[in-house]
Amino acid sequence: MTLTTSEPRAPEARAPEPRASEPRASEAHAPQDAPAAQPLSAPADGSAPPAPVKLWLCPNDDLAPALAAVLAAHWLDETERETAGRFLFERDRRQYLVAHTLVRRALALEAGVAEAELVIWRSRRGRPFLQPMPGGLPRGGAHLDFNLSHAGGYNLLGIVRRHRIGVDVERLDRDAQAIETITSTFAPEEQEWVARAAPGRERDRRVLRLWTLKEAYSKALGLGLGLPFDEFAFTLADDHGVTGFRPPAQDRFGRWRFVELEPVPDVLAAVAVPDDGRQPPELQLHHGFPWGRAAPRNIELPEPVGGIRG
């Protein structure tokens, strides 16, 4: 389960014992229709290689509570600060502050705009977007899409410069009841694949691999809870990797690239980005809060799967 940047996704509706839930943001982020994704068309010959898909995995422990509070006071907007103030438990407030200061810091580096000057708004379905700037971004381009997930003290942020991205992160320490409830939301063929694994850790891993992929995909589409998880299905290799994908009827992209990661032991992550037929971008995985210039881990995106675009 995950949050989509300024507001959590509300995984509680799908499975018990979700990660820390967040209060719903106020209407200050005026809900509007989501902006149309950029056209899926091939560039002219000789065009520059695509910008990489960028991921940040940041544990809460990478940002001291006092520092997170100071950064939040300077960087977050009024709605975000009000949301943080409504948490009942300090651990949940800390998760929110680390997650949302991470978003603003990474977007600031990518866009060339000060953290506090970034304007984040929401679609009618609650998906956050970076408000476009007249004349484009100071560091080039006119489009940045981002997505945030957090679970059990880990925050995962994805940013792309074209189209959409969805991400999800999960810990493997779910209890049996949660695993059973999650499995019940899957398509029949997925449930059959899960049942072929031995009960316990092997089966739990299959369940959470599917769950993170489904969450990442639904968040990339911007449909959230409006997309039943049994209306689309993944075919996975037993060890790692997506070998097939049956999209739902409302999928307007057709083919997708899905990445499965275990960036630290017992933490699973998934990334979903639409394929446009062009040269695939590279994925760069950064660890920690984006202060320094440590080299990222470079990951080649897998081959696309899914239906053919109409």
pLDDT band of residue 15 (cuts 50, 70, 90) is very low
pLDDT of residue 48: 67
Task: Tell me how crowded residue 185 is: count the other CB atoms within 10 A of its CB.
Answer: 17
pLDDT band of residue 12 (cuts 50, 70, 90) is very low
pLDDT of residue 254: 86
Class of domain 3-9+51-306: alpha beta
Distance from C-alpha of 119 to C-alpha of 29, rounded to nearest angstrom: 9
Q: Tell me: the pLDDT tens digits for 51-89? A: 899 999 999 999 999 999 999 999 999 999 999 999 999
Q: Tell me: the pLDDT tens digits for 186-219? A: 999 999 999 999 999 999 999 999 999 999 999 9
